Structure 1
Amino acid sequence: MITIAKNEQYSLKVDITKNRAFLKINGFWRNKEDIPGYLQDWNEAINKLSKGFTLLTDATDMTIHPGDVRDVHSKAQEKIVKAGVKKVAELHGENVASMQLDGVSNESGMPKKNFNDRTKAESWLDS
């Protein structure tokens, strides 16, 4: 497992053997200045993965984000889709945050499914 980024807002790791990225979103991001390296971190992660990679996003601790942060999520998802992601499993906690993430994913065409159980999410990604 290679750690691309780990800070108060998120962690992003890749497992080259599984061809999978792991994103953990932490709490509330006030504005895009809270996450200045987020898109660059995604570029680095994508460069280490092959087309057809999968992504496990853990949003269980995420709270709803403001509009400018939503735009950053959207840009990241566009990069991920363009790079050839096969499947995305999202772990959710708070319903409002999951509704926001679902909206962004619908706009970007992200091939994702929501889960409440990490084992089931990883099993789905492995299938």
Structure 2
Amino acid sequence: MSNIQEHANLKSPIAVAKTDCYELLYREDFNRIYFKIIGFWKNAGVVPDITKDLDKALELTAAGFSLLADMSGMVTHPQELNELHTQLQKRLLTAGLAYGAYIESTDKIANFQLEQTIQTSQINLKPFKSHLEAEEWLRNITAL
């Protein structure tokens, strides 16, 4: 298939949610959820619909879906939010996540927090420095 045909066959992402704190998209052609954290979350009250929005995205997925989480804009969150992140990760696991990648934050403490929640939830997410690297890895691993 030519590159032109490949691009013609790509479907536009479905916007599941877009707030000041996060974005959730779903790409049916890749069976992939795209999740982006934006900035500082002072408490769970600034993201009251995040669980409901993630559930909407999960309803769109098929078995063996993948995740690309962009954490590059995430800054250190209060410790109380670690439980929320862990719960969201466990929801992804329960729903059947096959492969996950995340783009590391430029904030070292935020990366440490993320690593802690990944360890607690036991989700398998591979870290990357760039969106391009993460996307390429996911395309290769899901093509196997």
TM-score w.r.t. the length of structure 2 is: 0.85
Q: What SS does the corresponding residue of 1:60 show, helix, strand or coil?
A: strand
Answer with 1 or 2: which has the greater Rg: 2
Unmatched segments (≥5 aa) in structure 2: 1-12
- Equivalent runs, 1:52-63 vs 2, <5 Å: 52-63=64-75
Residue pairs, 1:1-127, within 5 angstroms: 1-92=13-104, 93-127=106-140
What do residues 2-52 of structure 1 show as CA deviations (whole Å, max 9, x unaligned)? 111101100000001100000110111000000000001111100100121
Greater share of residues in strand: 1
**How much has 1:71 moved relative to structure 2?**
1.2
Instruction: Tell me by how many angstroms 1:89 deviates.
Output: 0.8
Q: Segments of 4+ in structure 1 off by > 2 A?
A: none
Which structure carries more relative contact order (alpha carbon 8 Å, separation 6+)?
Answer: 1
Count of equivalent residues: 127
Supply the RMSD in Å over aligned alpha carbons: 0.9
SS at 1:55's partner residue?
strand
Q: Secondary structure at the match of 1:88?
A: strand
Q: Which amino acid is 1:124 matched to?
A: W
Percent identity among equivalent residues? 31
Secondary structure in structure 2 of the residue aligned to 1:110? coil
